[in-house]
Amino acid sequence: MALYQLLRPFAFALDAETAHRATIAALSMAPPLPLPSFPKTLAIRVAGIDFPSPVGLAAGFDKDAEVPDAMLGLGFGFVEVGTLTPRPQAGNPRPRLFRLKEDRAVINRMGFNNGGQERALDRLRKRERRGILGVNIGANKDSTDRVADYARGVRAMGPVADYLTVNISSPNTPGLRNLQAGGELVDLLQAVQASRTPDGPPIFLKVAPDLDGGDHDRIVRAAADSGVNALIVANTTISRPPLTSRHRAETGGLSGRPLKALALEQLRLFRAASGGSIPLIAAGGIENADDAWARIRAGASLVQLYSAMVYEGPGLAKKMADALALRLEREGFTSLSDAVGAA
């Protein structure tokens, strides 16, 4: 992390997307580090998977599955790649990624830019299977049958994934969030499950933070009835709390510190709606161990980072994991699972 603080001014001299691509390129050329060891108290079993640490990398950083092993070696307990669509797509016009330095936030309107599932699948088949890898799947912008796109993603990426995330919560693909509505969600999840082989990876559903009253109960019922194994709460927001950066008026999904309160409240509402019957994974505005601890006590079994790394560097994951182990000991918990929902 100290090295990153020295390098950050050079990265911030570049536009956000150029700096990100340079980071991916550098990581892809470096030999992967060995998997780190974590305190045993951090181990937790979610959806039949044994996670060595609850601190994971959210989708969006490694869209094309180019550097999952590098990120695992840097201290993440699990890594989620994507979002990957069936066919390659360029995404929205640049510029489409903006740092809001004064707000410790990011706005993106990337639009599921990626090289497609086939290229990523070839890459992931060649890697030595180690660590926990999630694959986030989506639909192409110009698709005439988005449900079929998700079913195709399950079939294509299931063999290389420890879990699959159905992402219907990005605000940057027009109409995508409509799949969260009533009957559409049920039809989608049924199609996803029908495409999953009996020994296929568990299915996670990533939801938006911009929900209305009653949405939480409805989504939990649909997820439970369809056999979804976990909910990721939540994606970026289209709402705009007070911001100070010159980029505050950019359209797209807002992430980072300003999302913190909203994401935590949505997590609490999903915990109340589910009663703990379905595992929850927290994302959005998590910057440090205190934030992670608040989400765990509110009901999250796992947490995911992305935007905070822009400001703190990839060493943040291991730093948070170590701090969480100390917090468990200080609070008198012998395991992470005992702390989940303790608030």
Q: pLDDT at position 180, please? A: 86
Pairwise CA distance, residues 68 & 78, whole Å: 9
Residues 191-202 have pLDDT tens digits of 999 999 999 999
Confirm or deny that 114 is annotated as ligand binding.
Answer: no
Confirm or deny that 237 is annotated as ligand binding.
Answer: no
Q: What is the mean pLDDT of residues 64-68?
A: 98
Q: Which residues are catalytic?
A: 170
Q: Can you read off the two tokens belonging to residue 19?
A: 């700096």
Residues 112-144 have pLDDT tens digits of 999 999 999 999 999 999 999 999 999 999 999
Which has more pLDDT, 50 or 343? 50
Sorted by where each begins, the domain ranges of the chain are 2-339
Confirm or deny that 63 is annotated as ligand binding.
Answer: yes
Confirm or deny that 167 is annotated as ligand binding.
Answer: yes
Nearest Cα to Cα of residue 153 among 83, 65, 78:
83
Q: Is residue 5's pLDDT more than 80?
A: no
Q: pLDDT at position 1, please? A: 58
Residues 24-45 have pLDDT tens digits of 999 999 888 999 999 999 999 9
One-letter identity of residue 182? G
Residues 77, 267, 342, 256, Cα dihedral to 10°: 50
Q: Can you read off the two tokens belonging to residue 317?
A: 């994951």
Q: pLDDT at position 3, please? A: 65
Q: Which of the four pLDDT bands, split at 50, 70 and 90, describes residue 212?
A: confident
Sign of CA dihedral 210, 214, 202, 198: negative
Q: Contact at 8 Å (CB) between 285 and 241?
A: no
Pairwise CA distance, residues 21 & 3, whole Å: 19
Mean pLDDT of the chain: 95
Confirm or deny that 234 is annotated as ligand binding.
Answer: yes
Q: What is the mean pLDDT of residues 232-250?
A: 96
Per residue, the 3-state secondary structure of 138-170, as one string, reads: CCCCCCCCHHHHHHHHHHHHHHHCCEEEEECCC
Domain 2-339, CATH class in plain words: alpha beta
Residues 280-321 have pLDDT tens digits of 999 999 999 999 999 999 999 999 999 999 999 889 999 999
Half-sphere exposure in the Cβ direction for 239 (13 Å, CA) = 15
Q: pLDDT at position 9, please? A: 83
Confirm or deny that 306 is annotated as ligand binding.
Answer: yes
